[in-house]
Amino acid sequence: MGSVMPSLDAQRRALARDRYRPGYHYLAPSNWMNDPNGVIFWRGRYHLFYQYNPHGAYHGGRTGTIHWGHAVSDDLVHWEDLPIALTPTPGGVDRNGCYSGTAFANQEGVATIIYHSVPEGICIATCDDEMLVKWKKYPANPVIPTPTAGDTYKIDGAPCAWIEGDTYYAITGNSSRDAFEGREPDRAYLFRSKDLVAWEYLHPFYEGGHYTSWREDCAVPDFFGWGDKHVLLFTSHTRGPQYYVGTYADERFVPERHQRLAFGETDLGCRPGIFCEGQTLLDGAGRRVMIGRISEGRFGHVQRAAGWSGIMGVPTVLSLSEDDELLIDPAVELKCLRRDHQRVSDLSIAADSTVDVAAARGDQLDISAVFSAEGAEELGLAVLCSGDGVEQTQIRFNTNPNQLHGAGTSTLRELILDVTRSSVSDEVCNRESQRCQVQMDEEEMIELRVFVDRSVVEVFFGGVHYLAKRVYPARTDSLGVRVFARGGAARLRSLDVWRMDSVWPMG
C-alpha cells in the first residue's frame, strides 16, 4: 500500500496523546465513527467503509453529517486511511446522509455499493479503480424509493445485496417505530432486479418474533450462505447484535436457530460502550471475516471535547459448527503484534484470594489463560488493576450461577465481563457489565482469550462466546493483572501474556 494521506495522518498524530485511544484497534483518524459498511475483500486487500462524520465527534442526525469513511489493509491489522468514499450531495437524494449499506462485485466484476440514502431511498454507487477510491453514484438514484403510504415494504434497516445466477437480490430491515412500539417483530423485505436499476418488491424475506421479542427490529442485516444453510446477522436497536441460522429456498428465509452475540445486565442492546453491529466479508482464503463496532461509554460532551468517538473491535473469523452454532474466534493475524512473551504455569489460587501476576502488567495485552475450578464457585482474571484494586476490570467465570452447589448435576455456568470498578472517572456513562450463559461440565478446563487495548477489553470463550466493553481507567497505575478464586480453590493451569505493538501513533 502507499503512504498514509498526510492530512489524515496529521489528525491521528494530533490525538496521539489521548490515553484512551486504542493502539491496535481500527478507529477513524478523528471525529465520529459509527456502523461498519461495505466491508469487502477486493483484489487481495481488505476494505473497511464506515459511517463517518468529518465535522466533529457526534452523530449529527439526519442533517447531512453522515459520510462513508474508508480504510484498507493487506493483513487485517495494519490499516491505511483513504479519502471519504461517499459524501452527501447537496440538494441530492442523499442530501441528509449516506447511511448504512453493503458492497459486492456486480455481474461485470465492478465494485458496487448499495446504501440507504436519506431522505429518498436506496442508492447505488460503483467504482472501477484499484483502491476503490473514486465512487460514482448512479444518476437515476434512488433505485428503491422511500416507501409512501401505499407501500408495504420498509427500508429503514439498510440494504444487503447478493447475486443468484443472473439476478440481483436485496433485503432491507425494519428499523421502524412499528417494531419499537411492538406492533410487529423483526422483519426484512426482499427485492429483485436484473440490472441493479429496476427493482421489484417481492414480499417479507422472513418473519421474526419466535426467537425474539416484538420490540426488536432488523437493522444492518448481513445475509450469506454456508453450505446447505444460510446465516442472517443483524442488530436490534433494543437488544443488540444477534444471528439466525436457517434455510433459504423459493426466495424466503426460514430461521431455525437464534443466538445473541452478547448482552448486558438488563438484556438491552445498543447501550453505550458495547459491541453494537458487525458486517462480514469472504476473503481470499475462503474465511468469513467479521468487523464490528464498539461504541463509546463516556458522555457525549466528553466525546466531543476529545475530538473522536467509536472504534472497531478486533477482526474475527466466523465458522459454523456441526449443530449450526456460529463460532467466533479472533483473527490469527493479530499474533504479528505480539512481543515480550511471559508465561505462568500451575499456580494454585487459594479460596477467597487474589494473586498478582507481576509479569503481566500493561494496557495493550493479548492474554490466554486456562483455569480449573477445583471447588471454586467463581474464578477469573482481572486486568487494568490499580495497585490498591480500586480500579480493575474483572473477567469472572461463575461455576454456580443459580447457587445450587452440591444440589444436582447442572452444567450451567456464567461468564461476566464486569466493568463496575473499571474507572473512578465521573465521565463514564455506562457501567453495565456484559454476560453470557455457558453450558459445560465441571471437569472441563476454562479457557479465556482476552484482548486489552487501553480503553477496550474483549473476551473470547470456547469459540462461541464474545464479550466486549469500553473501559476508561483514570489512574496511571491501572496496569496490573491478577487472578482470583471465590468460594473454593482454583488452579491457573497456564497464563500466556504478550504485550501488543501499536499500529497507530501513540503519545
Q: Give pLDDT, residue 178.
A: 82
For 338-500, which CATH class? mainly beta
Rounded Cα gap, residues 91 and 83, in angstroms: 22
C-beta of residue 439 within 8 angstroms of C-beta of residue 323: no
- Residue 472 burial (10 A CB sphere; 0-12, 13-18, 19+): buried
Q: Give pLDDT, residue 181.
A: 83
Q: Block means of pLDDT (10 residues each) for the chain, length 507 residues?
A: 63 95 98 96 98 96 94 98 97 97 97 97 96 97 94 90 98 87 92 97 95 91 96 92 96 95 60 90 97 96 98 97 93 98 96 94 98 95 98 95 61 93 97 89 92 98 93 98 97 98 92
**What is the rounded radius of gyration, in angstroms, for the C-alpha atoms of the chain?**
23
Sheet with 240-249, edge to edge strand ranges = 219-226, 229-236, 240-249, 252-260
Question: Residue 393 to residues 213, 253, 297, 313: CA-CA distances in angstroms?
Answer: 31, 41, 14, 18
Among 308, 310, 302, 305, CA closest to 427: 302
Give the three-class secondary structure for 73.
strand
Indicate the pTM of the whole model.
0.95
C-beta of residue 114 within 8 angstroms of C-beta of residue 102: yes
C-beta of residue 290 within 8 angstroms of C-beta of residue 48: no
Give the three-class secondary structure for 12.
helix
Q: Within 13 Å, how many C-alpha atoms sit on residue 486's CB side?
A: 13
CA geometry: angle at 309 spanning 58 and 421, to 5°? 120
Rounded Cα gap, residues 64 and 97, in angstroms: 4
C-beta of residue 314 within 8 angstroms of C-beta of residue 330: yes
In 150-186, DSSP assigns E strands to: 159-164, 167-173
Cell 444487503 identifies what position?
160
Rounded Cα gap, residues 202 and 158, in angstroms: 17
Stretch (H or E) spanning 33: strand 31-42
Q: Parallel, antiparallel, or unpaired for β 252-260 and 446-453?
A: unpaired
Q: Parallel, antiparallel, or unpaired for β 308-309 and 311-312?
A: unpaired
Rounded Cα gap, residues 462 and 230, in angstroms: 23
Q: Backbone phi, then psi, for 262, in 5-degree steps?
A: -170, 160
Q: Parallel, antiparallel, or unpaired for β 167-173 and 288-294?
A: unpaired
Q: Please name the residues in contact with 399: beta carbons below 8 A apart, sequence gap of 6 or more.
A: 373, 376, 377, 378, 379, 413, 442
Handedness of CA 104, 110, 116, 122 (dihedral sign): negative
Q: Is residue 352 left, alpha or beta, with left meaning phi > 0 and alpha meaning psi from -120 to 50?
A: left
Q: Is residue 387 left, alpha or beta, with left meaning phi > 0 and alpha meaning psi from -120 to 50?
A: alpha
Q: Please name the residues in contact with 284: beta carbons below 8 A apart, sequence gap of 6 or more.
A: 41, 44
CA geometry: angle at 488 spanning 486 and 492, to 5°? 80
Domain regions of the chain by residue span: 6-333, 338-500
Q: Give pLDDT, residue 2.
A: 42
For 6-333, which CATH class? mainly beta
